[in-house]
Amino acid sequence: MSAPKILVIPGSLRSASYNVRLAALATKELTLAEADVTRISLADYPLPLYDADVVAKSGPPANAVKLKQLLEAHRGVFIASPEYNASITPLLKNTIDWISVVREPGEVQLAVFQNRAFALGGASPGRSGALNSLLTLRQVLAIGCRAMVVPEQVAIPNAEQAFNEKHELADARAAGQLKTVLKKLVDYARLFGG
């Protein structure tokens, strides 16, 4: 059985972001689970604010097309979502909105979000551990994009103390939750991979 292809996306651009660290840890854990992992930075795919007039006039930007192609090439996606004002980052929402309008002629709307699994995690300095962000992101993906989102998720509170000197989660319970989420993602990705 071939290794399932998993895409890891941190929803933050800051190199010191807790969610960039969570994405790096998820990449490591997925590699140990024998997945074929690609981790990206959305900084490498800058996009303007979503504007339907731009789409109508000149089509989606090249980076939106590239991101859609990346999604198509993977059967699983892990998103590490920061929390801004009890919601997802504008960066993450804008990225999803742009990807959602990229279509080949005759392609069904939102087809890129089908036949693959999405798993969610988030780290926040607050006590909720980005839980509000994860709920919003789940709604955007599952309801708005009709994606299959793994029921389990990991929300890491007090993120400034969550990682140890080895860049792993210091709390055994949180580390176990992350491994559970990632194992489920790999299992679903294998199912979608045929």
| pLDDT at position 103 | 94
Average pLDDT over residues 21-28: 97
> In a 10 Å sphere around its CB, with 0-12 CB exposed, 13-18 middle and 19+ buried, how is residue 129 labelled?
buried
Interacting residues of 191 by C-beta distance below 8 A, sequence separation 6+:
117
- Percent of residues, the chain, with pLDDT higher than 90: 94
Q: What CATH homologous superfamily does 5-193 map to?
A: Flavodoxin domain (3.40.50.360)
Domain locations in the chain as residue ranges:
5-193
DSSP string, 87-121: B--HHHHHHHHHHHT---TTPPTTGGGSSSEEEEE
pLDDT of 68 higher than 90:
yes
pLDDT of 15 higher than 90:
no
**For residues 103 and 157, what is the distance between their CA atoms, to the nearest angstrom?**
38
**For residues 156 and 14, what is the distance between their CA atoms, to the nearest angstrom?**
18
pLDDT of 25 higher than 90:
yes
Give the model confidence (pLDDT) of 147-160 as tens digits: 999 999 999 999 99
Give the model confidence (pLDDT) of 134-188 as tens digits: 999 999 999 999 999 999 999 999 999 999 999 999 999 999 999 999 999 999 9
For residue 140, report the phi and psi dihedrals to the nearest 5 degrees: -60, -45
**For residues 75 and 67, what is the distance between their CA atoms, to the nearest angstrom?**
14
Which has more pLDDT, 143 or 127? 143
**For residues 191 and 90, what is the distance between their CA atoms, to the nearest angstrom?**
32
Give the model confidence (pLDDT) of 85-119 as tens digits: 999 999 999 999 999 999 999 999 999 999 999 99
pLDDT of 71 higher than 70:
yes
- What is the overall mean pLDDT for the chain? 95
| pLDDT at position 16 | 86
| pLDDT at position 194 | 63
| pLDDT at position 123 | 95
Whether the pTM exceeds 0.85: the reply is yes
